[in-house]
Structure formats: C-alpha cells, structure tokens
Amino acid sequence: MGKRALAGAVVVFLMGAAAYASFYIAPEEKTMHVLQRIFYFHAATAWAGMTALFIGFVANLLYVWRREGKWDALGVACAEVGLACFTVVLITGPIWAKPAWGIYWTWDARLTSTFILWLLYVSYLLLRTLIEEPDRRALLSALFGIFAFIDVPIVFGAIRWWRTQHPAPVIMGGPGSGLDPTMSKVFFFSVFALHCLVVFLINERYRLEKLRAKFEIVRREAEAI
Amino acid sequence: MSSLDSVFAAYVLGWAVFFVFYLTVARRTATLDKEVERLKNTLNRGK
C-alpha cells in the first residue's frame, strides 16, 4: 500500500471514529438532545476550514514576497479545501438550524459573514480561470486571497462581538462558556480528525497543481520541436 | 424530519461533499498524469 493510500485510510478511520464518538460517546445535551450531535461535525469542520484558509493566506503572502510557484500552488490548494469545508458548514448549519430555530437561514452576523467568506473564495477560484498568463494569475489571485482572508477573523469574532441568532461560543467564549469534559474530548478529537482530512486533501490538491506545472513545461518542450 | 434524521443528513451530506471533492481532485490528477505521459512519449519519439 502506497503512502498516500495509507494516509487516506488513516483519515477515513479517524473520521469514522470521530462520528462514532459523536454518536455514542458524547453525552446527550439537555436542551437540544440528539440534535446537538451535529455540533461535533459542524464546528470542527469550520475550525479545520479556517486552518486551511490561514495556511492559504500565509502561502499568498509568501508568493507576493518571493514569487515562487510552490506558494501559488499551496494557496490554490488551501482555497479549494477551505471552500469545501465551508460548503459543508453552510449545509450542516441550516440542517441544524431548522429544528433548533424553526428556520433554515437568517441574515445574522455569523451566518452572513460565513456566506460572504464562501462567496469570496468562489470568486478567488473564478478569478484564476479568467487570467491566462501564469505569473499574472498567481500574483492577482494571491492579492485577492490576502483580501479574502480578512473575512476569516470576522467570521470567528462575529458571535463574540455581536449577539444575534447564532449561539454564543462554547469554546474560547469567555466566562460562563464551556463544555462538559467528555463533550470537550469528543469535540477536540473531531477537530483533530477534520484537520487530518484537511491536510490530506491539501496534499492531494497540491500534487495536482505541481503536476499542472510539469504539464506546462512538457507542453512547451513539445511545442518547441 | 426528526432530530435524528437531521443529524444523519448533516453527517451524510458533509461526508459526501468531502468525498466528491476528493474524487474530482483524483480524476483531474489522473487525466493530467495521462496527458503528461502522452506528451513525454511524443517528445521521445521526436528526438
């Protein structure tokens, strides 16, 4: 079994274990009962998505500074994986919201800033398809990626700065917040599993981008003959 | 939809998004891999 297949198998196992822990090990919450179990997947995916976008932000800064193709490749890999994570967040959130709040969606600070974040990274990927010249594409998308990342701390802070529909944070939420110790362990295990998945996916997507660069070199050689 | 159905729907749809994303990356990689090999063979024949 190759290293990548082994890594994929480990990630699938961790994701399965996290789901098992969320359903069978975490105690039932008093007010939302079984519905609260979405939290372990929804919030952990959001944290992992923010990590992916942060790595992408650093890669974009490094590209602007150094102009090396590897940072552009890492930037786009992280943007796609972060976008996948926030797609999951925007799907699981409304599924949780409907039975809990009676509505799928409301334009509150957290939900709106998350939706804007999703739109910004869709725009980042669209921008890349519109520019032909590789160096110009890499520079403009790195600059746009740096701009798009400004929304990540707003998403993180939205439920801390403004009290609207979305619940207040239970982790890093200040006095009065917190989780039952078993819930906390299950949540951080889910965060770990989702981070492993994100690292695996970034690596796979980065590999594709490196292959694209190789393809460009071989294509130019073929055209020169 | 019951609460348990909602929980299952959230997990299944979430997993599906990640799985489909992985499949699209794997498919794009396989296609490009074949294209690089094809071009390399063309180059070798031309030399």
pLDDT digits (tens, 9 = 90+) for A72-90: 999 999 999 999 999 999 9
Q: What angle do CA A83, A53, A164 make, to 5 degrees?
A: 75
Q: Does B7 touch chain A (CB under 8 A)?
A: yes
- Which amino acid is located at A69 in the chain? G
Q: Which tokens in the block code for residue A91? A: 């799907």
CA dihedral over A13, A18, A23, A24, signed as positive or negative: positive
Instruction: Say if residue A202 is exposed, middle or buried (CB neighbours under 10 Å; 0-12, 13-18, 19+).
Output: buried
Are the beta carbons of A9 and A196 closer than 8 angstroms?
A: no
Domain boundaries, chain A: 2-166+187-224
Q: What angle do CA A41, A121, B17 make, to 5 degrees?
A: 35
ipTM of the prediction greater than 0.90, yes or no: yes
Residues of B in contact with A32 (CB under 8 A): 3
Q: Does A40 touch chain B (CB under 8 A)?
A: no
Give the closest of A45, A98, A212 to B32, CB-based.
A212
Q: What is the count of residue pairs from A and B with beta carbons less than 8 Å apart? A: 87
H or E, element range at B47: none
Output the CA–CA distances (angstroms, integers) from residue A46 to A6, A61, A173, A207, in the order listed.
25, 22, 16, 24
Give the closest of A33, A34, A92 to B14, CB-based.
A92
Residues of A in contact with B3 (CB under 8 A): 32-35, 99
pLDDT digits (tens, 9 = 90+) for B1-47: 688 899 999 999 999 999 999 999 999 999 999 999 988 888 887 66
pLDDT digits (tens, 9 = 90+) for A189-215: 999 999 999 999 999 999 999 999 989
A20, A33, A34, A78: best to mutate for the B interface, most B CBs within 10 A: A34
